């Protein structure tokens, strides 16, 4: 397809066809990996959980392997996809890093939901989550082909590598957790200073509502204990007052 009408989206090298507004959705799907990394970073900042660090670390390793393979294989991208970059590492496209990224993340999350989620996920919610992941995979893969950023071979290899590396990484992390090596790591001083914990996979809360209800119950218990302590002080001080009067 002709690409002479493509224009860059904001300050990125993501392009879309202004004559076909729906292609903007495909363009935005290219920044989905960045959105996922921002989500993981936000999750860590708010909860100080180890799990987002584990996922992000896996993605870094995954991306490094993709970059090394690009430099080793040196399989060029389609000519039509080389709109802005004529040299440098962006020229090479085997494997597709976007496809590898989204397959690594999606495979890891599906394995997590299937084998290590802290509570049983109802079928409807699991189907919804997996459908969302598959939608993200479909958008990214189609966008890489539609805009001629990659050949179909580059996309297929990226998907295979992402899936394979994710399965291996998930298994390795599971072994490290079972043997207590993650808990050993959490005893490091830097983890103590950052208040990092590994409690996501053992959380007892299914929903935010359940967590709120637990907080309310604890709050009520604290109020009752406080009231009882005040009554105890009153009963203790009453004999003392009578002694002073007498």
CB-based burial, 15-37: b 16+ in 10 Å, e otherwise: bbbeeeeebeebbebbebbeebb
How many other CB atoms sit within 10 Å of the CB of residue 81? Answer: 21
Q: Give every CB contact of residue 178 below 8 A, 6+ residues apart in sequence.
A: none
pLDDT tens-digit profile, the chain (246 residues):
445 566 555 445 677 777 877 888 888 888 888 899 999 999 899 888 888 999 999 999 999 999 899 888 888 788 776 555 555 556 778 898 899 999 999 999 999 888 877 666 677 888 888 889 999 999 999 888 888 888 899 999 999 999 999 999 999 999 998 888 888 888 888 888 888 888 776 666 555 566 667 767 776 777 777 777 777 766 655 555 545 455
| DSSP at 112 | I
Q: How far is CA 195 from the centre of its chain?
A: 20
| Three-state secondary-structure class, residue 131 | helix
- If we measure between CA atoms, which residue out of 88, 87, 98 comes closest to residue 30? 98
Hey, what are 27's tokens? 């363009």
Query: What is the distance between the alpha carbons of residues 230 and 53, in angstroms, rounded to a whole number?
Result: 46
pLDDT given at position 92: 78
For residue 210, give Cα distances in angstroms to 47, 124, 201, 227. 17, 19, 16, 26
Q: Provide DSSP, 182-217.
A: HHHHHTSHHHHHHT-B--GGG---SSHHHHHHHHHH
Residue 100: how many other CB atoms lie within 10 Å: 29
Question: How many angstroms separate the CA atoms of 144 and 129, rounded?
Answer: 23
Q: What is each CA distance from 49 to 13, 44, 66, in whole angstroms?
A: 34, 6, 27
């Amino acid at each position: 397809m002709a690409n002479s009408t493509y224009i860059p989206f904001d300050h990125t090298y993501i392009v879309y066809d202004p004559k076909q507004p729906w292609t903007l959705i495909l363009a935005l799907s290219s920044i989905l990996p960045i959105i996922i990394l921002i989500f993981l970073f936000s999750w860590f900042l708010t909860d100080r959980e180890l799990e987002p660090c584990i996922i992000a670390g896996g993605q870094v390793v995954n991306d490094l392997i993709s970059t090394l393979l690009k430099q080793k294989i040196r399989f060029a991208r389609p000519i039509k996809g080389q709109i802005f970059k004529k040299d440098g590492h962006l020229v090479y496209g085997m494997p597709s890093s976007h496809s590898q990224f989204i397959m690594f993340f999606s495979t890891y999350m599906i394995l997590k939901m299937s084998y290590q989620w802290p509570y049983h996920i109802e079928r409807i919610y699991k189907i919804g989550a997996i459908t969302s992941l598959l939608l993200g995979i479909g958008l990214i893969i189609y966008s890489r082909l539609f805009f001629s950023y990659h050949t179909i071979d580059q996309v297929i290899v990226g998907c295979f590598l992402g899936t394979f590396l994710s399965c291996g990484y998930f298994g390795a992390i599971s072994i490290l957790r079972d043997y207590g090596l993650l808990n050993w790591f959490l005893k490091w001083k830097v983890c103590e200073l950052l208040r990092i914990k590994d409690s996501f996979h053992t959380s007892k809360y299914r929903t935010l509502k359940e967590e709120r209800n637990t907080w309310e119950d604890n709050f009520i218990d604290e109020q009752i204990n406080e009231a009882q302590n005040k009554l105890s002080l009153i009963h203790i001080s009453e004999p003392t007052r009578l002694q002073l009067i007498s």
